[in-house]
Structure 1
Amino acid sequence: MSGHSKWHNIQAKKGKADAQRGKVFTKIGKEIAVAAKDGSNPDTNAKLRDVVAKAKANNMPLDTITRAIKKGAGELEGVNYEEIVYEGYGPAGVAVIVDVLTDNKNRSASNVRYIFDRNGGNLGANGCVSFMFQRKGQIIIEKKDGLDEDEVMMAALDAGAEDFNPEEEAFEITTAMEDFSVVREALETAGYEFASAELTMIPDTYTELNLEDAEKVQSLIDKLEDDDDVQDVYSNAQFPDEFEG
């Protein structure tokens, strides 16, 4: 994929994320609370362990992580969130998947539909675009002085990674969904720090965009991500190399 790699997306959002750090923590905290319903011990709850790793990669304070776990486990008063996935099409026919965690399904459905309608998209039925994506683990390691590409690649592949892609400023590691935890933990044990480590939806094919359509698609994605109930937005958009985001 040319244009916007995962690393590019991380960099493009960094300033925004720094300005909205509390919002980022709130969204991850909801993920932790949902995962902790199946057990509050990360050692025996792989899903919780992975989300906690994501929280740490985003520099989420330990006490905030602990509080979210206790809320999910029922040790502290919390909110009961429902997981919902919306699918649809954005400008230029781009496929879009929206992951939501909400305590009010009607509100979320209304908001997501409104954002699609007002930004050149169409909300579709479940399954209308998800068949175009695969659930994968994705780990991003920023290139820093002292990191040897061959060593990182061998560590990732030896741990069970499916693919290793050296970007200009980062290493992008892809795993099968069921192997994500093992690979992440092996690299973490080896001392590697992650810019990102999470399960994601990777498209089988991409829709190439011109600059005008890229602006429209990015606007749709930004507005969806700004919604408090939206956790993640995935698309098969291939942005032009010159697009700044």
Structure 2
Amino acid sequence: MSGHSKFANIKHKKEKNDAAKGKIFTKIGKELAVAVKEGGSADPANNSRLRDVIAKAKSNNMPNDTIERNIKKAAGEGGSADYEHITYEGYGPNGTAIIVETLTDNKNRTASNVKSAFTKGNGNVGTPGCVSFMFDRKGQIIVDKEEYDGDADDLMMQALDAGAEDFAEEDDSFEILTDPDDFSEVREALEEAGIHMASAEVTMIPQTYVELTDPKDIQNIQKTLDLLDDDDDVQDVYHNWDE
């Protein structure tokens, strides 16, 4: 994983303007609503998925009152829309692989928008499973070195003892990988130890990366990623472009 840390991208997202922050909060709000509905409880103590989304919300600097308001709204009678998970897979320039995870209350709108984003970047949506085999689903926790005063070996042992699979040190951060089923347990162990996490989520990590050298290819994939990022129905986008 060395050289492919998501940390720079995470920092970039957090430093976006207020409008972009509002969009991120809207997306996390939908995840909170789904977590309450599918987890069967608005009490984080009884809903591990909700605890994970709350941790994600806090790592994105979402205010506590906003988090609580979203949870209360989701728990209320008819308080949240009936969102559906739909995943799209496809190809960007030069065979780059892209996975798009959405939460939508209108499948036709979402499908049209996702297809348009691929087309405008000179790519195409493929069939389910066409690129997901190129990724591993993992729990990923990023710790900013500036936020951690301890020893790297101590952090590694804490993570591995809690059930993590792998630990990597980057120039500016530490990356902890877990099996998706062990993610909550590892995240909560680190949280209880007082370790600040820049990011903590279950994600898709490419097995290999594709380097783009043609400026037109770079422009096209950036166009697709920007369009997807601006779409309110899109929750997460994963790709194997070596930025």
TM-score normalised by L of structure 2? 0.92
Alignment of 1:166-177 (within 5 A): 166-177=169-180
**1:19 and 1:47, CA in 2 relative to 1: closer, same or farther beyond 3 A?**
same
Instruction: Identify the residue that residue 131 of structure 1 maps to in structure 2.
Output: 133
Instruction: Identify the residue that residue 24 of structure 1 maps to in structure 2.
Output: 24
Instruction: Identify the residue that residue 90 of structure 2 maps to in structure 1.
Output: 88
Instruction: Identify the residue that residue 185 of structure 1 maps to in structure 2.
Output: 188
Distance 1:203 1:194 in 2: 22
**1:63 and 1:75, CA in 2 relative to 1: closer, same or farther beyond 3 A?**
farther
Q: Higher mean Cα deviation, 144-153 or 28-37?
A: 144-153
Residue 206 of structure 1 deviates from its aligned partner by 1.8
**Matched residue SS, 1:107:** helix
- Does 1:165 pair with 2:149? no
The answer (yes or no) to whether the contact 1:35–1:72 under 8 Å persists in 2 is no
Instruction: Identify the residue that residue 105 of structure 2 maps to in structure 1.
Output: 103
Instruction: Identify the residue that residue 5 of structure 1 maps to in structure 2.
Output: 5
Deviation per CA, 1:161-214: give whole Å up to 9, x if none: 111111111111111101100100000000001110001011222222226233
Instruction: Identify the residue that residue 195 of structure 1 maps to in structure 2.
Output: 198
Q: Higher mean Cα deviation, 194-203 or 218-227?
A: 218-227
Distance 2:161 2:4 in 1: 28
Deviation per CA, 1:85-132: give whole Å up to 9, x if none: 011001111110001011111100000001110111101111111121
Deviation per CA, 1:18-41: give whole Å up to 9, x if none: 551111111000001001002212
**Matched residue SS, 1:234:** strand
The answer (yes or no) to whether the contact 1:33–1:70 under 8 Å persists in 2 is no
The answer (yes or no) to whether the contact 2:2–2:168 under 8 Å persists in 1 is no
TM-score normalised by L of structure 1? 0.91
RMSD: 1.7
Distance 2:82 2:161 in 1: 40
Tell me which amino acid in the other structure corresponds to 1:72.
A
Q: Higher mean Cα deviation, 155-164 or 204-213?
A: 204-213
The answer (yes or no) to whether the contact 1:17–1:24 under 8 Å persists in 2 is no
The answer (yes or no) to whether the contact 2:90–2:125 under 8 Å persists in 1 is yes
**Matched residue SS, 2:197:** coil
Instruction: Identify the residue that residue 226 of structure 2 maps to in structure 1.
Output: 222
Which of 150, 153, 158 aligns to 2:153? It is: 150
Unaligned runs of 5+ in 2: none
Tell me which amino acid in the other structure corresponds to 1:88.
G
**1:154 and 1:214, CA in 2 relative to 1: closer, same or farther beyond 3 A?**
farther
The answer (yes or no) to whether the contact 1:84–1:99 under 8 Å persists in 2 is yes
